[in-house]
Structure 1
Amino acid sequence: MRHASPRHQRGVVTLEYALMLMLGLLPLLLFTFSGVMIMAAQQTLATASAEGARASLRYATPGQRRTAACLAARRSMQWLLQFSRQNPDCSTGGSGPIVVAPAAPCAGLATAQCITVTVSYDYAASPFLPGTATLYGWVMRAPIRSTAVAQLDLGSN
C-alpha cells in the first residue's frame, strides 16, 4: 500500500477551513444578523406606536388627533416603511402598517376616551435577508406588531 507523502497534501487544511467557514460559520453569522435586525425592527415599532400615541394627546379635533398620531408613527418607522416599500395614507388615520383607531371608551374606565395606535411589519413579505422568512416562519407566524394606547384629555380644544 502506498502512503501519500506530505508534499502531495499541501493546502488540505486550508481547504477544510474554507469549507468549514462557508458551510458552518457564515450561515450562523447570517442567522445572527437577521435576528438582530428583527430585534431592531421590534424596537422601532415600539417607539413608533408610543410616538403616535403621544402625538394624539395634542388638543385638536378627533380627526386631527388620528392624523397627527399616524404621521408621528410614520416618521418613527420610516426606515422600515422604506425597506418594505410601503407608504401608508395618514389622512384617514392610517392603513396597512399603521392603524390609528378612532377615540373610544377606555378599557376599564368607560368615562374616559382612548386612542389606540397599532404599527406592524410583515417580515414574511419583506425579509431582511432572502430566505430567512422561511427560516423564521415557524417562530413568527404573524407580522411583528406593537400597540400603544393614549387616554385623551378632552377638557378643551
Structure 2
Amino acid sequence: MYYKYKDTARPGRASGVRRTVQRGIAAIEFALVFPVLFVLLYGIITYVLIFLAQQSLALAAEEGARAALRYTTADRGTIACNTATQLVKWLGSNGNGDPIATCVPTGPVVCAFPAGTSAQCITVKVSYPYSTQPLVPLLLGPLMNVAVPATLASSATVQIN
C-alpha cells in the first residue's frame, strides 16, 4: 500500500517518532551473541577432530593386529606397526617424514585368556601425543589443556596360533 505523506510519520504513529531510535541495536546484539556461538562452534569442531583421531587410532591398531595375523614371518610386530603407521599418517609427521603417532608391538607372548593355554598373542598399541600436536590450535592456550586429552591411544590384541 502506498501512502502520500509529506512528513516521515506513518498512519497510526505519533507525528515526529522516527525509526532511527533503534539504529545500531542489531550490532550490539551480534557483539554479545557472536563470541558465545563462536566458542560453541570451535568446541564442536575440536571434539569432532579428537573423536575422528581416536577412531583412526583404533582402526590402525586393529588393522596392525590383523596384519600380524596374516603374515607368518618371524617379525610380525614390525609388519603390524608398519601397517598401523600407514593408516595414521594423516595425523601428521615430524620434520624427517616419520609419523607423529607411535606404534609399539608386544609379543608374541602367552595369552592371558583363556587361562592355562599356551596360545600366543600379539598386542599392537598406537598412540598420538595430542597435547604437543593438537589437530586444531587450542583457543585459550594452556587453559584448554584441562578440556582436551594429553594422549590419544588404542590397542588391539590378536591370537596368532
TM class by shorter chain equals 0.7 to 0.9
**Taking structure 2 as the reference length, what is the TM-score of the superposition?**
0.74
**Taking structure 1 as the reference length, what is the TM-score of the superposition?**
0.76
Bigger relative CO (Cα 8 Å, ≥ 6 apart): 1
Q: Partner of 2:124 in structure 1?
A: 117
Distance 1:71 1:117 in 2: 11
Whether the 8 Å CA contact 2:104–2:126 is kept in 1: the answer is yes
Q: Please, which runs of 5 or more residues in structure 1 have no aligned partner?
A: 89-94
Q: Is 39-48 or 109-118 further displaced after alignment? A: 109-118
1:1-157 aligned within 5 A: 7=20, 9-10=22-23, 12-63=24-75, 65-82=76-93, 87=98, 97-109=102-114, 110-132=117-139, 134-140=142-148, 142-153=150-161
Across the two proteins, how many residue pairs are aligned to each other? 140
* Structure-2 change in CA distance of 1:129 and 1:59 (3 Å): closer
Q: Please, which runs of 5 or more residues in structure 2 have no aligned partner?
A: 1-17
CA RMSD of aligned residues (A): 2.5
Q: Secondary structure at the match of 1:60?
A: coil
Q: Which 4+ stretches in 1 moved above 6 angstroms? A: none
* Structure-2 change in CA distance of 1:34 and 1:50 (3 Å): same
The structure with more radius of gyration = 2
